[in-house]
Amino acid sequence: MSGFDFSVIADSLPSLSGGLAMSFMLTAIAMAGGLILGLILAIVRLSNIRFVSTIAALYVNGFRAVPLILVIFWFYFLVPLVIGRPVGALYSVIIAFVMFEGAYYSEILRAGMQSVRHGQWQAAKASGLSFLQTVRLVVLPQALRKMAPLMVTQGVILFQDTSLVYVVSLHDFMTSASIVANTQNRMVEMYVFAAVVYFILCTLGSTLAERLKRNPTLA
Amino acid sequence: MKYSWNWAVLISEPYLQWLGWGTLMTIVISLVSWAIALAIGTVVGTFHSTGNSRIRLFTSSYISVFRNIPLLLQMFLWFFVVPELVPDAIGTWLKRDLPHSEVVTAIVALGLFTASRVAVQVSAGIVALPRGQGMAAKAAGLSTAQAYRLVLLPQAFRLIVPPLTSEFLTIFKNSSIALTIGVFELTAQTQQIESFTYQGFEAFTAATVIYMSIALVVTMFMRQVERRTSIGNT
């Protein structure tokens, strides 16, 4: 091994930071979209309307049974076919992540809402609130506080999972590091550097989750 | 949407064979990695559950390093970086002579990654036991090792069957990441079928159905484990 070459990292910082921005953007969109979709799925599953809640359950369990890479491949193949023209990797990846994360967030949200004491649901009903009003005004505000640490943990997992867009060559942080590693033939430097960056960012997230768990009033 | 269906592609050669080999590879990688993860995870988790702060420094570092780096990058580190960092003779052997080095690397990476997650569960399981269990074991004259082996670990494992089930399910899904270092497991094979035949719908449906079947079998197996290991209604 011929010494650790820091200059290759310094030289490639522009493309790496561009990649990191892409990773953050993907994480943010997948989180926001996943939360919205997850909330709808969770409410539908708690609603006790048999037909739709069965479909939502099938959706959630289906997505949770397959690897994210397969989901990325599925949408990379499907989206252009449905739209009828090539749309590029980014759009199909975003759709894949939102659909996939929706399934995971719905389980967190459902568990959180179910953990709200039964008396709260009954009291809300007794005071004349509809099901949706109960969810919005009574259950969700209490559940969100309890779920905050899990949400952050899922966010950290999601951030790590965005590295999988490597398989469709979308230029996130992981792919950018890998491109430099291969073109400059500097595998050691680039992959160690990437690992350090991921480690620091994810440790910050994990620490935040740990704090929230110990001190729920922070949420 | 224009698409010409051809489900027969799945049962024609060589594609049927690709699917079969891919499925087998996914199962083998996952099971071997799971064995490694259980073994190392139990050891790390047991040490992590002790109060000793020096030991905990090691176990916490292990857990946080393996949990906070994406698995894809961990595969790359084991595959591309580690052979460069070890002494030359070993590095050359890893790169040139180790048969199926990508499969071995995938198993090591997946096993050590999952071990960190198993360790967290094992440690939580031990900590969740009533303190009297450890004390009673000591009072009965068991050594520390015996107390863990005969009293604490069997009870801890009973408690953590549900979270271990979900880790076991996850390892099959995570094994797909091995395709990034050139392992032809199930997802890679179906992707290859798609690029050879353009029958992506059929290929990915086959993979989806196979992954779902694996999940179903694993869930049923673990339910049996849970039923057999539970004591009465506790």
**In this complex, do B208 and A161 lie within 8 Å of one another by their Cβ atoms?**
no
For position A59, which CATH number holds? Answer: 1.10.3720.10
Q: What's the total number of domains in chain A? A: 1
Q: Residue A84: which pLDDT band, with cuts at 50, 70 and 90?
A: confident
What tens digit of pLDDT does each residue of B43-70 get?
999 999 987 899 999 999 999 999 999 9
% of chain B with per-residue pLDDT over 70? 98
What tens digit of pLDDT does each residue of A103-129 get?
999 999 999 999 998 899 899 989 999
Find the domain containing A165 and state its range: 6-218
Element (H, E) at B124: helix B101-128
Q: Residue B233: which pLDDT band, with cuts at 50, 70 and 90?
A: low
Residue B2 lies in a domain: no
Partner-chain residue, chosen from B65, B194, B211, that has the shortest CB–CB distance to A199? B65
Confidence check: pLDDT of A2 > 70: no
Residue B124 lies in a domain: yes
What pTM was computed for the model?
Answer: 0.93
Average model confidence (pLDDT) across chain B: 93
CB A126 within 8 A of CB A153: no
SS3 track for B134-149: HHHHHHCCCCHHHHHH
- Alpha carbon separation from B86 to A52, A145, A196, B78, B80 (Å, rounded): 56, 48, 19, 11, 11
Q: What's the total number of domains in chain B? A: 1
Residue A1 lies in a domain: no
**In this complex, do A160 and B200 lie within 8 Å of one another by their Cβ atoms?**
no
CB A37 within 8 A of CB A102: yes
Element (H, E) at A46: helix A13-46
Least Cα distance to B205 among A14, A78, A207 occurs for A78
Q: Residue A4: which pLDDT band, with cuts at 50, 70 and 90?
A: confident
Least Cα distance to B80 among A180, A137, A200 occurs for A180
Residue A86 lies in a domain: yes
Mean pLDDT of B11-29: 94
Confidence check: pLDDT of A160 > 60: yes
**In this complex, do A163 and B73 lie within 8 Å of one another by their Cβ atoms?**
yes
Q: Which residues of A touch B69 (CB under 8 A)?
A: 160, 195, 198-199, 202
Q: At what angle do helices B15-49 and B101-128 cross, to 10 degrees?
A: 40
As a whole number of angstroms, the distance between CA B98 and CA A26 comes to 38
Least Cα distance to B175 among B11, B43, B10, B31 occurs for B31
Q: Which residues of B touch A68 (CB under 8 A)?
A: 173, 176
Residue A11 lies in a domain: yes
End-to-end CA distance of chain A: 48
Q: Residue A61: which pLDDT band, with cuts at 50, 70 and 90?
A: very high
Question: Worst-scoring range by mean pLDDT, A70-79, A200-209, B1-10, B65-74?
Answer: B1-10
Which distant-in-sequence residues (6+ apart) come within 8 Å of B53 by Cβ?
none
As a whole number of angstroms, the distance between CA B17 and CA B179 comes to 18
What was the pLDDT predicted at B39?
Answer: 98
Residue B95 lies in a domain: yes
Q: Which residues of B touch A70 (CB under 8 A)?
A: 176, 187, 190, 204, 207-208, 211
A188 in contact with B, Cβ within 8 Å: yes
Residue B163 lies in a domain: yes
Residue A101 lies in a domain: yes
For position B63, which CATH number holds? Answer: 1.10.3720.10
% of chain A with per-residue pLDDT over 90? 79
Residue B62 lies in a domain: yes
CA distance B140 to chain A (A): 36
Mean pLDDT of A92-96: 96
**In this complex, do A69 and B84 lie within 8 Å of one another by their Cβ atoms?**
no
More confident residue, A164 or A125: A164
Q: How many CA atoms lie within 13 A of B99 on its CB side?
A: 0
What was the pLDDT predicted at B232?
Answer: 63
Q: Which residues of B touch A164 (CB under 8 A)?
A: 70, 72, 177
Q: Which residues of A touch B179 (CB under 8 A)?
A: 69, 167
Residue B52 lies in a domain: yes
What tens digit of pLDDT does each residue of B153-195 get?
999 999 999 999 999 999 999 999 999 999 999 999 999 999 9
Q: How many CA atoms lie within 13 A of A73 on its CB side?
A: 29
Matching residue, tokens 């997230």: A205
Residue B76 lies in a domain: yes
Confidence check: pLDDT of A137 > 60: yes
- Alpha carbon separation from A1 to A137, B82, B92 (Å, rounded): 61, 11, 12
What was the pLDDT predicted at B52?
Answer: 87
Please state the φ and ψ torsions of residue A169, each to the nearest 5 degrees.
55, 35
Confidence check: pLDDT of A147 > 60: yes
What tens digit of pLDDT does each residue of B127-141 get?
999 999 999 999 999
Closest residue in A to B92 (Cα–Cα): A1
Residue B37 lies in a domain: yes
Q: Which of residues 203-222 of B touch A (CB under 8 A)?
A: 204, 207-208, 211-212, 215
What was the pLDDT predicted at B9?
Answer: 85
